[in-house]
A and B are shown apart, each in its own frame.
Chain A
């Protein structure tokens, strides 16, 4: 039977939908029960997306923290390299030996090279 749509039908439809939602029958009223699994799957995907986003954000926080730890270690490393290299200067070694009262000095003769 043909039916002419009116504005108040829209209002009634919305009200019925609301009542159906309150009764938990919205999907049944729409007669999409056979797609229920798909709808639940979509909700599951939404939940997963949100959960994974939170996990990623958490991981990125850890990455940032680890970056600063690594940077700190790199700084300590480069400072120690600098301190060590500075001490390897030939004249510094000689001066340090002198200060410590060591009898070790620069060689006066070249070392002999042993050949098999």
Chain B
């Protein structure tokens, strides 16, 4: 070889070998590069060969642990826990015994005796079959070659531990045919309590749909977490994580701290269920307890009897999902309007009784007014007396006489009280209220509409809307947004604080105080006298309305009504800490379900139950120095 300077350079042997190696490797790398490019771009393998040559490594999805739902004191309301579906391989060792010509028959007989002993134990945990039926099931399965015979429903860990110690099962899967399939499901330690509010979910891997309702459904994006992935390879010891592959860790779901106090929920449940359990004519009922200052919902009971079901269950959220004509509880809305707009100066302002007929409106005569005229020998009634006896005439008259020329003012006031919108709430399904309006071109507007709206007909409101309005009165005019989720937590640390929010100020403190006085009069001398002897003073209003039938009427052909009785108020009346509403919904019935009946009694039980445990009722004793 000639160097540049023309001198001949001799290469040593090693140099030549390394040079040749270099050239060979260089050529090999070029070939490899071209081959890779060809495989990536043009090569399509035979599927059979590809399957045969694919290494037995496979991906495993790492399931995240779904977050817990906890109450305001940290007690677990919903958590994930494994259940076990027990099954049996009835064919276990059958062929082995059959092949054993010497002792096979004897061993098969011994196995069957153990199966008989197992059959005697199984009814203790799965009582749907007798011991004989279980033995027949196992032996039929053995004869017919069934490798998977399901036994009973999924059971918890405690039962699983018992079952695996039963005769035959204690020999394991290969000897005794014991099969246990584990699956994480959602469990609710407090059973029925707040079940509809907490919601339902089958398990963390099920798709969000009809099985996800309540907080479980609305906050699935928080609770679910994020799946991870890892690759496994086969070794002599079984499948292990492939350390040459990437691994994405599962991210567990976050916890949700709700505003629910499960003790209060328990008391509220017992208070309501105790009143309605024996009432066969009731379709359902709801009770909501809200903290006045914050709008935090401390208890939400929804009891509904589905079709011909024997008992009430938490299967429908009546408190937010059913908008009904509110009845007399809406009179407070009219009262707030006339006070705020200066149409009446005080609750003692007098209105002519006019024998219970509203001028210019054709509505049934108010019999309460006739009683009032007869009892007091007068032709006038004060606003507060009309409120106490829940007179439709008084509040229809207040609406008509003050807003007939400017009905939109009346409607706008209702809108400003947030009684016409489905505000953002922590549960899906809050029904939108219905408020008629003179501007609605599809509907004829008349003075009658204004009059009936004045005493609670013609509109549709959910119990939660009504409660939010009354809570604003308890809160001196400040309307707090109802909420159920206090914060979102991870390992006990707050990640997202939610908490109270002010929606608007709907009236002055003076107006709120005046209305509170009227509401106290209702529980002391009016339609809610039943609450007079509650352990703490309650202010509130009863209301009764009728559900409509398909033709639009309030009665069916047998003259039966669908009652909707409500009591809504707050306590302690002088320094409110809680607002509460209870509504009952009847089936078509000839019985009466007034707001002053079951709802008032349920709330009295609730108030008495809370009285002994809530810190707001604790008398304070200052220690002397």
A residues at B contact (CB < 8 Å) = 30-32, 56-57, 60-61, 63-64, 75-76, 78-79, 81-83, 85-86, 88-91, 106-116
**B612 lies within 8 A of A108 (CB):** yes
In the bound complex, how far is the Cα of B76 from the Cα of A45, in angstroms?
55
Residues A61 and B612 in contact in the complex (CB < 8 Å), given A32-B14, A81-B79: no
Q: Is the CB of B617 within 8 A of A90?
A: no
* Min C-beta distance of A114 to chain B, whole Å: 5
Closest chain-B Cβ to A51's Cβ sits at a distance in Å of 15
Q: Are A114 and B621 in contact (CB under 8 A)?
A: yes
User: By the criterion CB–CB under 8 Å, are B81 and A82 in contact?
Assistant: yes
CB-contact partner of A107 in B191, B193, B612, under 8 A: B612
Is A112 a contact partner of B623 (Cβ separation < 8 A)?
no
**CB-CB nearest in chain B for A35:** B14
Contact B618 A79 (CB under 8 A): no
Report the Cα distance A56→B244, complex, angstroms: 10
Give Cα A86 to B91, complex, Å: 40
Q: Are A107 and B270 in contact (CB under 8 A)?
A: no
**Among A56, A57, A110, residue most surrounded by chain B Cβ atoms (within 10 Å):** A110
Contacts of B157 in A (CB 8 A): 75-76, 79
- Determine whether B614 belongs to the interface, using a CB cutoff of 8 Å to chain A: yes
- A110-B617, A114-B621 as given contacts; A56 in contact with B243, CB under 8 Å: yes
Q: Using Cβ atoms and an 8 Å threshold, which residues of chain A touch B371?
A: none
* B210 at interface by CB-CB < 8 Å: no
Stretch at the interface among B109-117, B164-172, B233-241, B399-407: B233-241
Known contacts A82-B187, A113-B620, then 18 further A-B pairs from the complex at CB < 8 Å, ordered by chain A residue: A31-B13, A31-B14, A61-B240, A64-B240, A75-B81, A75-B182, A78-B79, A78-B80, A78-B81, A85-B75, A89-B190, A89-B193, A90-B263, A106-B613, A108-B612, A110-B618, A114-B621, A115-B623
Among residues of A, the one whose C-beta sits closest to the C-beta of B156 is A79
Q: Is the interface of B mostly helix, strand, loop or mixed?
A: mixed
- The docked-state distance in angstroms from the alpha carbon of A76 to that of B238 is 25
Q: Which residues of B contact A88 (CB under 8 A)?
A: 75, 189
The answer to whether A82 and B79 touch across the interface, beta carbons within 8 angstroms, is yes
In the complex where A76-B157, A89-B193, A108-B612 touch, is A113 in contact with B76 (Cβ < 8 A)?
A: no
Decide: B17 and A90 in contact? CB cutoff 8 A: no
Using an 8 Å CB-CB cutoff, how does the interface string of B236-280 with A read, 1 for contact, 0 for none? 011111010000000000000000001100110010000000000
Interface residues of B in 185-208 (CB under 8 A from A): 187, 189-191, 193
Contact for A64 among B238, B267, B270, CB less than 8 A = B238
Taking the closest CB of chain A, its distance from the CB of B266, in whole angstroms, is 4
Contact between chains at B241 and A113 (CB < 8 Å):
no
B191 lies within 8 A of A89 (CB): yes
Q: Tell me which residues across on chain B come within 8 A of A106, comparing CB atoms.
A: 609, 612-613
Query: Which residues of chain B come closer than 8 Å to A111, judged between CB atoms?
Result: 618
* In the complex, chain B residues whose CB is within 8 Å of the CB of A113: 615, 618-621
Query: What's the Cα separation between A82 and B156 when bound, in Å?
Result: 10
Partner of A110, one of B17, B76, B80, B611: B611
Chain B 60-75 interface 0/1 with A at a Cβ cutoff of 8 Å (1 = within): 0000000000000001
CA–CA, A91 to B262, complex, Å?
A: 11
Query: Are B237 and A61 in contact, with the CB atoms below 8 A?
Result: yes
Contact assessment for A110 and B238 in the assembled complex, using a CB-CB cutoff below 8 Å: no
Chain B residues within CB distance 8 Å of chain A: 13-14, 17, 75-76, 79-82, 156-158, 182, 187, 189-191, 193, 235, 237-241, 243, 262-263, 266-267, 270, 609, 611-615, 617-623
Closest to A78 in B: B81
Tell me which residues across on chain B come within 8 A of A89, comparing CB atoms: 189-191, 193, 262, 266
Asked if residues A112 and B156 are in contact (CB atoms below 8 Å), the reply is no
Closest residue of chain A to B270 (Cβ to Cβ) is A91
Assess the A86–B620 pair: CB atoms within 8 A: no
Min distance, Cβ A25 to any Cβ of chain B, angstroms:
16
Q: Which residues of B contact A110 (CB under 8 A)?
A: 611-614, 617-619
Query: What is the chain B residue whose CB lies nearest that of A86?
Result: B189
Q: Are A82 and B189 in contact (CB under 8 A)?
A: yes
Residues of A within 8 A of B615 (CB): 113
Return chain B residues, CB-CB under 8 Å to A107: 612-613
A111 vs B609: C-alpha distance when bound (angstroms): 14
Cα separation A47 to B193 with both chains bound (whole Å):
64
Interchain CA distance A31-B270 in the complex, whole Å: 97
Q: For B621, list chain A residues within 8 Å (CB).
A: 112-115
- How far apart are the CA atoms of A1 and B158 in the complex, in Å? 91
Q: Which 4 A-B pairs have the closest CB atoms?
A: A85-B189, A79-B157, A60-B240, A107-B612
Among residues of B, the one whose C-beta sits closest to the C-beta of A67 is B241
Give chain A nearest CB distance to B41 CB in angstroms.
Answer: 33
B79 touches A63 (CB 8 A): no
Find out whether the CB atom of A64 lies under 8 angstroms from the CB atom of B241: yes
Closest chain A residue to B76 by CB distance?
Answer: A85
Contact of B240 among A57, A81, A86 (CB under 8 A): A57
Task: List chain B residues, Cβ under 8 A from A31.
Answer: 13-14
Q: Do A61 and B235 touch across chains, with their CB atoms under 8 A apart?
A: yes
Task: Name the A residues within 8 Å of B187 (CB-CB).
Answer: 82
CB distance from B63 to the nearest CB of A (A): 11
Partner of B82 from A78, A83, A109, A112 at Cβ < 8 Å: A78
Complex Cα–Cα for A91 and B274 (A):
13
A89, B188: Cα distance in complex, Å = 12
Chain B residue numbers with a CB within 8 Å of A75 are 81-82, 157, 182
Residues of A within 8 A of B241 (CB): 60, 63-64
Whole-angstrom distance between the alpha carbons of A56 and B243 in the complex?
A: 8
Contacts of B238 in A (CB 8 A): 61, 64
**Max count, chain B CB within 10 A of own CB: residue among A31, A57, A88, A90:** A90
Q: Say how far A68's CB is from chain B's closest CB, in angstroms.
A: 11
Which residues on the A side are within 8 Å of B614 (C-beta)? 110
B612 near A115 with CB under 8 A, answer: no
Task: Give complex CA distance A78, B31 in Å.
Answer: 58
Known: A63-B241, A81-B79, A86-B190. A114 touches B617 (CB 8 A): no
A94, chain B: closest CB distance, angstroms: 9
Residues of A within 8 A of B619 (CB): 110, 112-113
Distance between Cα atoms of A66 and B263 in the complex (Å): 39
